[in-house]
Amino acid sequence: MNFDLIKSVVELVQKFTEQNEDKILYNNDLQGFIQWINASFEDDSNSEDPLWIGKELGRSSDSVINTLFVRIGRYAKMYSRSIGKSFFSSQDDFIYMISLKAMGAMTKMELIRHNVSEKSTGVLIINRLIHNQWIEQTVSQKDKRTKHITITEKGIAVLEEHMEEIRKASKAVVGNLTHSEQMLLIAILSKLDEFHASFYQMNLANDSLLDVVNKKLS
């Protein structure tokens, strides 16, 4: 987790709130904040589109963006392998544990869906963390039929031991982006995440998912 970045985001939200109090131009919610970010960091409308490999042959911006997302994700995995000298099996181990530490107890499926994992993959991650005694599954006091996943003291200790390395990996992924570029990227990715999350929460069948999304875009 890049806590310097989180601090910057909080400061930016405070600036948005202060400016929007004087002249209420945006809704006081995430969508309003994103619109304010876009307006604040809007590029020169006369600037040319960037070049990319295959553009002259008709390769679309959609294709480039998808490829870059995949590549950045693989770079992130590369950096995560340096954390704990392979102490963790994958970056999902500490991501799941950070989720539990930050948000508290969740059911198994809540934890899996919060991290946008496939059910089978998420179950393997949870079972591995339980085996390591970093998380545990307990019966809910309110509903005996429900089981909750919580992080253990041992799990918290493991996170704290490697948190500095996790922060370094997060910083490495952000790379050489300037502060303004980071803020703009947060706004863009938040907008994109909100869009995709709305369909993810529908739990649609694979054979109808693309049709539903593309209908929304048409």
pLDDT at position 89 is: 87
Q: Are 152 and 163 in contact (CB under 8 A)?
A: no
* CA–CA separation, 130 and 19 (whole Å): 47
- Residue 23 pLDDT more than 50? yes
- Residue 28 pLDDT more than 90? no
- Residue 45 pLDDT more than 50? no
Give the type of residue at 12: L
DSSP 117: -
48 or 132: which leads in pLDDT? 132
pLDDT at position 70 is: 94
35 or 151: which leads in pLDDT? 151
* CA–CA separation, 12 and 33 (whole Å): 9
Q: Are 129 and 96 in contact (CB under 8 A)?
A: yes
Q: Is 78 helix (H, G, I), strand (E, B) or coil?
A: helix
In this structure, what token pair is assigned to residue 127? 């079972």
84: Cβ contacts below 8 Å, ≥ 6 apart: 161, 162, 165
Domains of the chain are 3-48+81-203 (1.10.10.10)
Alpha helices (H) along 23-152? 30-40, 61-80, 91-103, 108-114, 119-131
- Residue 164 pLDDT more than 80? yes
> How many Cβ atoms are within 10 Å of 150's Cβ, its own excluded?
14
pLDDT at position 44 is: 46
* Residue among 161, 175, 152 nearest 2 (CA): 175
Q: What are the strands, taking DSSP E only, across the chain?
A: 135-139, 147-151
Mean pLDDT, range 17-38, rounded to an integer: 74
45 or 198: which leads in pLDDT? 198
* Residue among 30, 76, 82, 21 nearest 190 (CA): 30
pLDDT at position 5 is: 63
- Give the confidence band of 42 by pLDDT, cuts at 50, 70, 90: low
In this structure, what token pair is assigned to residue 61? 């911006």
Least confident segment among 20-34, 121-135, 172-186, 199-213: 20-34
- Residue 64 pLDDT more than 70? yes
pLDDT at position 202 is: 92
* CA–CA separation, 172 and 178 (whole Å): 13
- Residue 179 pLDDT more than 90? no
Least confident segment among 9-23, 52-66, 144-158: 9-23
Helix (H), strand (E) at residue 166: helix 153-174
pTM above 0.75, yes or no: no
Span 98-149, pLDDT tens digits: 999 999 999 999 999 999 999 999 999 999 999 999 999 998 777 778 899 9
Give the type of residue at 133: Q
* CA–CA separation, 79 and 143 (whole Å): 41
